[in-house]
Chain A
């Protein structure tokens, strides 16, 4: 009897052991001493800044690595009530487009600026996918400094990738659209639609962007891009799918052909054609918005023409590289020799050789021509095949020891392989269904290596459940040894499609602490409390207000009438680090102001009823923050309440 009980216990244990445990495979398989390797002790600082795109949040999140601590969310394409971004008068012009004010976008790919093919810590660029735009974020202020709209694009996905010295930021259209945009039957896709690649030049001093030229290509879906580097500097590469040119049920209709293309563009050649006057000046409408750190305001300008190059008129500028199975990522190794195309519907990856591409062009090893663009022979350009054993390859980054790491969405893993021999040397599971991955400097000529982050599309049971919607999971791995080791899981904001990281010492010393009040040239700045005033211009009332711990000046205002447009121009007189003041007024239809020291910001308030309405400081600024408040009296339309304002005198 005793033996029987014993046996049944054993069999129960066996049965239980056969089922995978909940909570991921064996709890996630972290390395045994993972905790100490990601622990950044209180008061200590992270080794890397990591910039994660917000995906459908439209913003850019800044994390510290290896801790996975969220440092800041920088509003870029979406309005952000927390910071008043897109709500205050100063930042509204940043979100102007040819479609008017657009308060949201889908931000996919952060790109650090490069010098000599290495991240230099000056700017981060990021794409707006839905209403095609590219933003530049300044790493001195960690704020959006500039946004440029891209005309003739239908979905700015293959963007924004930097050339070796950030000469250009690359952009391509995921959705081809009629060129020029017009009312045509959708079934005329093959005849009237085009795919456009854009080259945005970047001023090396100011960072200011300009749409230098566009290249008109057949109506495929241009998915992702990378610039060449080292020996392939001067070229850029774009994956395409839907070479079938389907316009409905793409999941089947665009997956028919065995191979799609990587478009290879010789942009130095394109530059020459532009200089030689070969570009057509086409009518367009797109907006260019710049924020100025001294006036603390953005200005917006419409631009009405764009230069377009047509490959059939510009030989030797564009080539198509046949690449199997709807390639998604196209990644260039640190030497610039190998171009990895990840055919997302296959198990294997084709790696093209840049030298072989040049040779094939030299020998005119062309399969055919499409719209005057030579299609190179696949066998002539392929350097090797990575037989990964995984399914659904998407993206590849590189370490500092000659390895490549590729994500596999379907088999939910990252595979490490050797560049040149194509042999798989290690693999690590991801929780779950990894999209992009990131290695600090992993897209550059000199990867910093050490860590790798997987950005996963599916979260499920990784964290405490929070209802149907879950934050996306990121995973941090140590790649300094032979084996990939999982260190940390952390939730992210929105859907980070891609991230980039840079050693903190290249950025932190430049970080601004506050704006100099002396340098503030905002047209409505108030630099001294004695200059504060309220001015009426018709039904516009301008309140020239200051903040300093712990009061507003003025803090009592009378003489506002229903129907007035009241502009609170608030200047923060503080000149110390981390002393922002907030400003919120009851019934405002926008948001708060969050004013950094030395800055001026403006809130529009349109009171719709008589009464006395409080306003107050929203950022806990000091011991007497709760006392930092005031009243605005609103009288009926046409009333003769005199315009008065004061601070500090009790009547």
Chain B
């Protein structure tokens, strides 16, 4: 299998295609009035919900405690993040053609760093939504902030929020792993 690293790198690129077709994160809110839960999906280029009205409904709920409206159009990451993913895919294809061991490692490490930055960026957005509250909010609970969890479960007043990666992140992760494997297999055979 002389071509295995190349195949793995192409696989890395192909796996990234799936990131465009599945949300990367989901946040679900449960409350007594929402027995079925309200789920928001974060994609690399958009935010959707389990119904067409979900985002509006979450914004209505959030405005009572003074949180900003979630407006996908005003979140720049949703515009450029898809180009980063696309670019990384193209680079992966190019690297598969070049087929150099250190490039594979560099690509994978760079992608891990990018992913970590993405998660940190997501955290910053969550922090901003949760802490940057309007002074005119109808409901003000002293000391209370509404930052949703990055990963796991958190109780926010009457809501219990669950936040977990979604299918898109899985494909992202597999792509990174496939990149590392390309590096590892290359290494093994040369020794």
A positions within 8 Å CB-CB of B = 514, 516, 518, 548-550, 573-576, 597, 622-624, 627
Contacts and interface: CB of A to CB of B under 8 A. Distances in A.
B64 A575 contact: no
A548 B60 contact: yes
Contacts of A627: 138
A575 B139 contact: no
A624 B138 contact: yes
Given A623-B139, A624-B138, A576 B53 contact: yes
B52 interface: yes
B64 A623 contact: yes
A278 B57 CA distance: 60
Interface in B30-69: 51-53, 56-57, 60, 64
Given A548-B60, A549-B60, A623-B64, A575 B138 contact: no
A576 B51 CA distance: 9
Nearest to B158: A623
25 contacts: A514-B53, A516-B52, A518-B52, A549-B60, A550-B138, A573-B56, A574-B53, A574-B56, A574-B60, A575-B51, A575-B52, A575-B53, A575-B56, A575-B57, A576-B51, A576-B53, A576-B56, A576-B57, A597-B53, A622-B64, A623-B64, A623-B138, A623-B139, A624-B64, A624-B138
Contacts of B138: 550, 623-624, 627
A627 B138 CA distance: 10
Nearest to A518: B52
Interface of B: 51-53, 56-57, 60, 64, 138-139
Given A518-B52, A575-B51, A576-B56, 4 more contacts: A574-B60, A575-B53, A575-B57, A622-B64
A468 to B, nearest CB: 42
A622 B53 CA distance: 17
Contacts of A576: 51, 53, 56-57
A509 to B, nearest CB: 15
Nearest to B33: A578
A516 B56 CA distance: 13
B60 to A, nearest CB: 5
A548 B63 CA distance: 11
Nearest to A576: B57
Contacts of A550: 138
* Nearest 10 CB-CB pairings of A with B: A575-B53, A576-B57, A549-B60, A576-B53, A624-B138, A575-B56, A575-B52, A623-B64, A548-B60, A575-B57
B47 to A, nearest CB: 15
Nearest to B139: A623
Nearest to A648: B136
A613 B139 CA distance: 28
Residue among B53, B56, B57, B139 with the highest chain A CB neighbour number at 10 A:
B53
Nearest to A624: B138
Contacts of B64: 622-624
Contacts of B56: 573-576
Contacts of A623: 64, 138-139
A516 B53 CA distance: 9
Nearest to B57: A576
A624 B61 CA distance: 11
A325 B92 CA distance: 92
A528 B138 CA distance: 22
Nearest to A549: B60
B25 to A, nearest CB: 22
A495 to B, nearest CB: 37
A623 B158 CA distance: 12
Contacts of A516: 52
